Chain A
Amino acid sequence: MDFYRAHVLICAGTGCSSMESRLLRQNMHEEILKRGLDKEIKVIETGCFGFCNMGPIMVVYPEGTFYCQVQPSDAAQIVEEHLVKGRPVERLLYQHEKESTDTVEMENIEFFKHQKRVALENCGRINPENIEEYIAQDGYFALAQCVNEMKPEEVIDVIKKSGLRGRGGAGFPTGMKWSFAAPVQADQKYVVCNADEGDPGAFMDRSVLEGDPHSVLEAMAIAGYAIGASQGYIYVRAEYPIAVERLKIAIKQAREYGLLGKNIFESGFDFDVDIRLGAGAFVCGEETALLASTEGRRGEPRPRPPFPAVSGLFGKPTVINNVETLANIPKIIRNGWEWFAAMGTEKSKGTKVFALAGKINNIGLIEIPMGTSLRTIIYDIGGGIPKGKKFKAAQTGGPSGGCLTESHLDIPIDYENLTAAGSMMGSGGLIVMDEDTCMVDIARFFLEFTQEESCGKCPPCRIGTKRMLEILDKITSGNGTPEDLTNLETLAETIKDASLCALGQTAPNPVLSTLKHFRHEYEAHIYDKKCPAGVCQALLSYKIDARKCKGCSLCARNCPTEAISGKIKEPYIIDQAKCIKCGECMNRCKFGAVIKE
């Protein structure tokens, strides 16, 4: 055995890679080599830690020292100070905790403290390109156990009892889904992993594939054993090059080790996996559209039944599961369903990964037990809202979901409660909004997305969302009329009722939910022609407060349309007819005399 006294883990996820973590890795290797420490210290590339906002991330074990925003040029100092002399480099430690301890360990950081990592357990801990590290973390033991010691029905039974529900959006019980496909007689069955991840802002599936690809392969093989399938496909979007690369490496290694292929563990069970690249259409995440696209046809949903479990890929029984759903499977088999069912709420077991984004200090990927409150997520894990601003709302479920308000801060987050609050779990996007966010504008943003992504098969979805978007455009540009609100509601109901797939059925949700919780903002746009949050350009005007203006002429000299005039040392005025609302005057004024209203 090679023994290394220290392990330096450097994040090689998409976020950190975009911030020169590759060069950092190379520099660390060089510095270590230069000092002859290469036999004592091992540098490992890992997957995303979820703290991408503070990247590039580096963790030094055994102490578990957590460094953030490490630049390639910091390599020499880290090696010299920390690895040679044992003195952590203070300035690179995570900020908030700096005063309290001199060695900041990962588990003491608020961001990680409240998390419970199950699906993300290995992300940021192992080298995803080395199958042996996965095995050292008990990888593939669940598969071995299934094929050697369990009957397929027993595997399904364990998954059923665990209470695991699909993490891709619909929350359908996974064990139940498998049990539909298992009894169907067919010469061929398939397991498909949905890695399309279309929700804007969500990136948990990418992180799992990048940081722990073998867990998905192992889970697919287990699913294959449970339902009697011998072939799996991973449908992943081509925009995830690092994930695709790691998957390719993982599949190759698993085949070399005989963990994919023929006669796995000499049990007579065969299973192999191939990758299918998607072009990144949101609708291709919908299961029937995904199957069509995998077969090489146009990615359009089709009516169900027949459900894929009965007639799926190439007309054969097929189980489709999301990446995060699958990542839970090996752990449930290894630790037992009781372990999994002990986490979470009555009907939502286990954990859920959320992509925290928007107006929040700690942007990143977090995994929490079901039942955690929004307050814990935002204020403890997320570190609160920047600049001391006030929380206004949080959008869950991405473009299909809705918003939660202050009154929802303390409800335990699970499938049922989110639905009851008029939102949904979705794939786990969580966008935080503060007092400066205009809710009409947000609704418009999501609707614009779904309207563009509609596949066009159903007129209510194709045309209805377009009409809704036009109405929102009208409102935000100051031309809204009182009928607009009722028209929005009527359209929304029709689209929900008459669309074939959940894209159309859920597209009006962001509008409906903001109409419900923030109707007064819509009304302010329509009746008062004002945007209370000061976002909608057309409803704003820039003015100069005569009492504060010193008459310095700075704004006038910087206005691109020469809309500002006045005499030196006397208050200046903005000509509203010429003003293009660029806000330059407000940025320039040193006396805070320019106001926006």
Chain B
Amino acid sequence: MKSIEELRAIKERNKGDVVSRNEKGVPTVNVHMGTCGIAAGAREVLTAVMDEVKTRNLDQIHIVQSGCPGMCINEPMLTVTIPGEKPYVYIKVTPENAKSIVLRHLINKQPVQEWLLNLDK
């Protein structure tokens, strides 16, 4: 070890690894993985979200899954929660949509209106 910069580089390289164990209040992507969700392709959506987070090196995002929200007709579904804001629920998500949601909603902070669940309908 020669310098504090070298140490810092190691820290950066591994930060993502421990950050998920420390941080609270970071944006969360929740993929609903009930049986029907998985049948409708939730697994592929989850993989797409992970790929995107990985390529963009976003270590400040939590990816979690949860069970069936009871709206099988709209599966696969995904909820984005940014701390301090209300959760946004996306429906009939495809892997491609999922990638754009990461970019547009999580990075650019612009929810993708046309794919959101509209409770009035």
Contacts and interface: CB of A to CB of B under 8 A. Distances in A.
Chain B binds chain A: yes
7 contacts: A5-B50, A40-B47, A61-B20, A62-B28, A84-B65, A86-B66, A140-B7
B54 A3 contact: yes
Contacts of A87: 66-67
Contacts of B15: 136
B13 A1 contact: yes
A43 to B, nearest CB: 13
Sorted nearest first, the 4 A-B pairs with minimum C-beta distance are A86-B65, A258-B1, A136-B14, A62-B62
A379 interface: no
Contact of B11 (A86, A136, A259): A136
Contact of B21 (A5, A9, A135, A140): A9
Interface in A1-35: 1-7, 9
B18 A266 contact: no
* Max count, chain B CB within 10 A of own CB: residue among A132, A145, A259: A132
B50 A259 contact: no
A570 to B, nearest CB: 64
A62 B64 contact: yes
A73 interface: no
Contact of A265 (B3, B32, B66): B3
A136 B10 contact: yes
B4 A144 contact: yes
A141 B7 contact: yes
A136 B17 contact: yes
B47 to A, nearest CB: 8
Contacts of B106: none
Interface residues of B, number: 37
B44 interface: no
A1 B7 contact: no
Contacts of B4: 141, 144-145, 148, 265
Given A3-B50, A4-B17, A136-B18, A86 B67 contact: yes
A470 interface: no
B57 A1 contact: yes
Interface of A: 1-7, 9, 40, 42, 61-63, 84-87, 125-126, 132-133, 135-138, 140-141, 144-145, 148, 257-259, 264-266
B121 interface: no
A84 B54 contact: no
A40 to B, nearest CB: 6
B2 interface: yes
B38 to A, nearest CB: 7
Interface in B61-89: 62-67
B7 A137 contact: no
Contacts of A1: 13, 16, 54, 57, 59
Nearest to B53: A3
A507 to B, nearest CB: 44
A4 B11 CA distance: 17
Contacts of B13: 1, 132, 136
A133 B65 contact: no
A86 B32 contact: yes
Interface string B36-59: 001000000011001001100101
Contact of A85 (B2, B18, B33, B57): B33
A137 B20 CA distance: 12
A259 B10 contact: no
* Max count, chain B CB within 10 A of own CB: residue among A1, A3, A145: A3
B74 to A, nearest CB: 17
A135 B50 CA distance: 25
A136 B20 CA distance: 12
Nearest to A107: B24
Contacts of A125: 18, 21-22
Given A1-B57, A5-B50, A136-B11, A266 B2 contact: yes
Contacts of A40: 47, 50
A15 B108 CA distance: 47
A66 to B, nearest CB: 13
A140 B2 CA distance: 12
B71 to A, nearest CB: 15
A140 B34 CA distance: 44
A42 B67 CA distance: 21
Contacts of B65: 84-86
Contacts of B46: 5
A5 B45 CA distance: 13
Given A3-B59, A40-B50, A132 B21 contact: no
B1 A257 contact: yes
Given A85-B33, A86-B32, A265-B3, 10 more contacts: A1-B54, A1-B57, A7-B20, A40-B50, A62-B28, A86-B64, A136-B11, A140-B7, A144-B4, A266-B3
B10 A135 contact: yes
A61 B23 CA distance: 10
A84 B68 CA distance: 12
Nearest to A136: B14
B17 A133 contact: yes
